[in-house]
Amino acid sequence: MSQIGATGRRGDAPPGESGALDQTNKPSVREAAAPALAAVGVSKHFGVVRALDDVTLAVRSGEILALVGENGAGKSTLVRIFEGVYRPDQGALTAGGAPQAFRSPSDAHALGIRVIHQEPDIVPDLSIAENLFLGDFRRIHGVFLDRADLARRTRQMLAEFGLEKDLGPWIRAGDLGPAQRQLMEIMRALRGGLRVLALDEPTSSLTEEEAQRLFRVVRRLRDDGVGIVYISHRMREVRDLADRVAVLRDGRLVAERRTAEFPESEIVQAMVGRPIADLYERGARRRGEAVLSVRGLTTKRVRDVSFDVHSGEVVGLAGLVGAGRSELAEAIFGHDRMLAGSVAVRGRTIRLRSPADAIAAGIGFAPEDRKSQALLLMRSVKDNISLAVPDLISRFDFVDPGAERRIATEFADRLRIRTPSLDAAVSNLSGGNQQKVVLGRWLARRPKVLILDEPTRGIDVGAKAEIYRLIAELAGEGIALLVISSEMPELLGMADRILVMAGGRLVAELDREAANEERILSLAMAENLTRTETVRTP
């Protein structure tokens, strides 16, 4: 591979695979060749969830195919099938026109198919050289590691990527930044004869300079004949890099066109063009005084964020992966240290040294990953519900079993938690019932503010409807709710106002009547806004 350099996107990009939806271009002579990799009628289910539904899509040598869609549209599932992590329930894969049935990622890797995930797969305690050439160490007399040869080969590869001045062979891989780890995975993939490379949201944690370096590498690989699958929510990247754009929605391929003939507005419309399910209960509620007031909140990942949430109000927080939504919630809850700004509850500023300060002020927080961040999986339903109210279940520093059971029973009944008993391990409950246990824990503290991060992730439709009912009920009781969700129909159905984040900043505030999916997604992708846009109906 020659020295990595910058090349522009070509104007003669090949059109999509025939037979896909929204085809507007005739096949070229180049497209007559078998694609480097293709999914043919691929479907994949996870229980009752349909992740992919009859998807036919080709990746051609020497082109960049952007794969776009909302969170949960099936993008990551498709590339995991390409890599051999998942096997399709229906349909097949072909590589170079030959049918393939990958039993594991090693089968895909043997054919030169690699996926770079958001968290690159490296061994942090090994050096760069050891990571790059793992399994290909040359030895002196068949015994001793040839360190000089390993260093020479590593420096040569670093030079190919313009990194020889920044990195050395023996630097610990765990000390590298996100962009350097991604490039290291690409270097490792090239050693095995790279034919297809998929990158899943590769710039979510990169600076602008790091992203531009990655783009130069991607373009160079394209020009060297590698087929690239590029997953991104960022329209600027898609339009700058991609030769062709494919849109997934609800697991189906709904559009596939050359980038030059696919306007951004039409890409966004294709991504969000589904009706909002009638699952949301709102009930009677009245907005009261401001309960949560955030002013100029700044952390390492969030910049100068200000907003209010009133009693009896559900405020939705929208944004793409890496926008800073969860980081904002964690800062408000005292889990992430603030560098500047303030958080107040009912006009009283909180000194946030830890979550205990937020809890004492009346803030509850249900994090995105309930299993690793919220629940004690091997403890009982009773123990998990009563975890946040030690003052209510103890006397003279001893737990009162009767009081503990009364509180757990009250909220298990109110939230309709389906469990064999209060003493059953919470790990045995369904995802929806586990989420109710987390909510029950905070309701037991009678919070003034409740922050819910992805409250319906990983639960079925019936359980989602119950969570929606509960959120509406809590708002009706006067609790101020801040709800983070990647499902825009969910936000539109529940929220009274929607705040939109991008790049760690609050970029828009929309009244319920002024919000729609296309507008929210467009704002979430608009990384160049210099101030918060406020949209309210007259």
pLDDT score recorded for residue 55: 96
| Residue-wise pLDDT tens digits, 227-258 | 999 998 777 889 899 999 999 988 999 999 99
pLDDT score recorded for residue 344: 96
Q: What is the 3-state secondary structure (H, E, C) of 52-92?
A: EEEEEEEECCCCEEEEECCCCCCHHHHHHHHHCCCCCCEEE
Residue 234: φ, ψ to 5°:
-90, 110
User: Does position 465 have pLDDT exceeding 80, yes or no?
Assistant: no
Cα 192 from Cα 256, distance rounded (Å): 30
| Residue-wise pLDDT tens digits, 319-376 | 987 889 999 999 999 998 999 999 999 999 999 999 999 999 999 999 887 877 888 8
To 5 degrees, how large is the angle CA 473–CA 336–CA 364? Answer: 20
pTM score above 0.75: no
* Maximum average pLDDT range among 121-130, 165-174, 293-302: 293-302
The mean pLDDT of 9-28, rounded to a whole number, is 38
pLDDT score recorded for residue 529: 54
Cα 467 from Cα 465, distance rounded (Å): 5
Cα 421 from Cα 418, distance rounded (Å): 9
pLDDT score recorded for residue 462: 56
Q: 241 exposed, middle or buried (CB, 10 Å; 0-12, 13-18, 19+)?
A: buried
- CATH code 3.40.50.300 region(s) in the chain: 60-121+195-274, 288-362+450-538
State in Å, rounded, how far the first CA of the chain is from the last one: 60
SS3 103: coil
Residue whose C-alpha is closest to residue 167's, from 135, 215, 131: 131
Report the half-sphere exposure of 228 (CA within 13 A, side-chain side).
30
User: Does position 30 have pLDDT exceeding 60, yes or no?
Assistant: no
What residues contact residue 243 under an 8 Å CB cut-off, 6+ apart?
9, 10, 13, 14, 63, 64, 65, 222, 258, 259
Q: DSSP letter string over 5-41?
A: ---PPPTT-----TTSSS--SPPPTGGGSPPSEEEEE
- Looking at per-residue pLDDT, the higher value among 475 and 11 belongs to 475
What residues contact residue 1 under an 8 Å CB cut-off, 6+ apart?
160, 190, 220, 224
Residues 145-160 as b or e (16 or more Cβ within 10 Å = b): eeeeebeebbbebbeb
Residue whose C-alpha is closest to residue 389's, from 442, 448, 426: 442
Cα 121 from Cα 115, distance rounded (Å): 10
* Maximum average pLDDT range among 127-136, 271-280, 435-444: 435-444
The mean pLDDT of 445-466, rounded to a whole number, is 80
User: Does position 6 have pLDDT exceeding 60, yes or no?
Assistant: no
User: Does position 439 have pLDDT exceeding 50, yes or no?
Assistant: yes
What residues contact residue 291 under an 8 Å CB cut-off, 6+ apart?
309, 310, 311, 345, 346, 448, 449, 480
pLDDT score recorded for residue 204: 66
- Average pLDDT over the chain reads 83
The mean pLDDT of 366-389, rounded to a whole number, is 85
pLDDT score recorded for residue 23: 40
- Tokens (6 digits) for 116: 């770079």
CA 216 to chain centre: 24
- Which residue in this structure is represented by tokens 């905070």? 442
Least confident of 111-125, 291-305, 308-322, 435-449: 111-125
User: Is 532 within 8 Å of 509 (Cβ atoms)?
Assistant: yes
pLDDT score recorded for residue 24: 41
Out of 3.40.50.620, 3.40.50.10420, 3.40.50.300, 3.40.980.10, the CATH code matching 60-121+195-274 is 3.40.50.300
Stretch (H or E) spanning 139 = strand 139-140
Report the half-sphere exposure of 96 (CA within 13 A, side-chain side).
7
- Tokens (6 digits) for 413: 């009944």
pLDDT score recorded for residue 21: 44
pLDDT level of residue 279 (50, 70, 90 thresholds) = low
CA 104 to chain centre: 24
Q: DSSP letter string over 177-212?
A: -HHHHHHHHHHHHHHT--SEEEEESTTTT--HHHHH
pLDDT level of residue 532 (50, 70, 90 thresholds) = low
**CATH of span 288-362+450-538:** 3.40.50.300
User: Does position 461 have pLDDT exceeding 70, yes or no?
Assistant: no
Q: Using the 8-state DSSP alphabet, how is residue 170 labeled?
A: T
| Number of residues that make up the chain | 538
Cα 447 from Cα 114, distance rounded (Å): 47
Q: What is the CA radius of gyration of the chain?
A: 26
Cα 254 from Cα 273, distance rounded (Å): 10
Cα 378 from Cα 222, distance rounded (Å): 49
pLDDT level of residue 533 (50, 70, 90 thresholds) = low
pLDDT score recorded for residue 404: 85
Cα 272 from Cα 492, distance rounded (Å): 13
pLDDT score recorded for residue 277: 46
The mean pLDDT of 192-213, rounded to a whole number, is 80
